[in-house]
């Protein structure tokens, strides 16, 4: 295409996509509209499929359940009102939040520490942690520690925290 004096060249960068469009203003305008109408809905749809943690919302959801002091994280719910999996999940969430806030150094917790916090023997703690890993709530790190997953946080916010709050209020 021979470039004329009134031709326009536009470079579009959107995330990983880069396009150069040249031509007369009308052609360029139509090409830009076509490109954006193809790309933007795809990215918007993909964006809706992404799991992300809204830390502010998570902290609001955990009010009255998790707290922090100079000694670290604490669960405010009586142990008798929680299942083993809920207890472990809440400790993992507490470590995640504490790490995000800069209160804790790391968002991972050792199996031994979780066993102590659960107040059960090693076999029960290991079984429950295995269940959390199997259902995607938690992940085991290469150095045998555990952390909450983004999926786990989403599920806890959607299902577990409302159930716990209902039990506390009852």
Number of domains in the chain: 2
The answer, yes or no, to whether residue 91 has pLDDT greater than 90, is yes
Residue owning tokens 């209902």: 166
The answer, yes or no, to whether residue 90 has pLDDT greater than 70, is yes
Q: How many CB atoms lie within 10 A of CB 67?
A: 12
Same domain, 37 and 71: no
Same domain, 13 and 90: no
Same domain, 63 and 38: no
Phi, psi of 63, deg, nearest 5: -60, 135
- pLDDT tens profile 14-42: 777 788 989 888 888 888 878 777 777 77
CA distance 16 to 111: 40
Q: How many CB atoms lie within 10 A of CB 151?
A: 14
- pLDDT tens profile 43-63: 677 777 778 889 999 999 999
Q: What is the pLDDT of residue 118?
A: 94
Are residues 88 and 95 in contact, defined by beta-carbon separation less than 8 angstroms? no
Are residues 108 and 98 in contact, defined by beta-carbon separation less than 8 angstroms? no
CA distance 128 to 61: 24
Give a yes or no: residue 3 inside a domain: no
109-110 vs 145-148, strand pairing mode: antiparallel
* Domain of 69, in residue numbers: 55-169
Give a yes or no: residue 2 inside a domain: no
What's 60's domain CATH number?
1.10.10.10
Please give the model's pTM, rounded to 2 decimal places: 0.74
- pLDDT tens profile 131-140: 999 999 999 9
Calculate the CA 15 to chain-centre distance.
21
The string of DSSP letters for 138-160 reads: EEE-TTSEEEE-HHHHHHIIIII
Phi, psi of 39, deg, nearest 5: -80, -50
């Amino acid at each position: 295409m021979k470039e004329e004096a009134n031709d326009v060249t536009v470079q579009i960068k959107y995330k990983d996509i880069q396009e150069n469009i040249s031509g007369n203003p009308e052609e360029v305008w139509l090409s830009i509209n076509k490109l954006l109408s193809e790309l933007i809905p795809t990215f918007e749809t993909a964006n809706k499929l992404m799991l992300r943690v809204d830390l502010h919302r998570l902290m609001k959801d955990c009010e009255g359940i998790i707290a922090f002091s100079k000694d670290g994280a604490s669960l405010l719910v009586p142990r008798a009102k929680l299942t083993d999996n809920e207890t472990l999940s809440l400790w993992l969430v507490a470590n995640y939040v504490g790490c995000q806030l800069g209160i804790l150094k790391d968002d991972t917790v050792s199996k031994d520490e979780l066993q102590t916090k659960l107040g059960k023997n090693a076999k029960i703690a290991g079984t429950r942690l295995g269940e959390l890993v199997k259902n995607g709530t938690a992940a085991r790190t290469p150095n045998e520690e555990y952390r909450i997953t983004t999926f786990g946080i989403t599920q806890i916010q959607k299902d577990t925290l409302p159930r716990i709050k209902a039990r506390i209020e009852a």
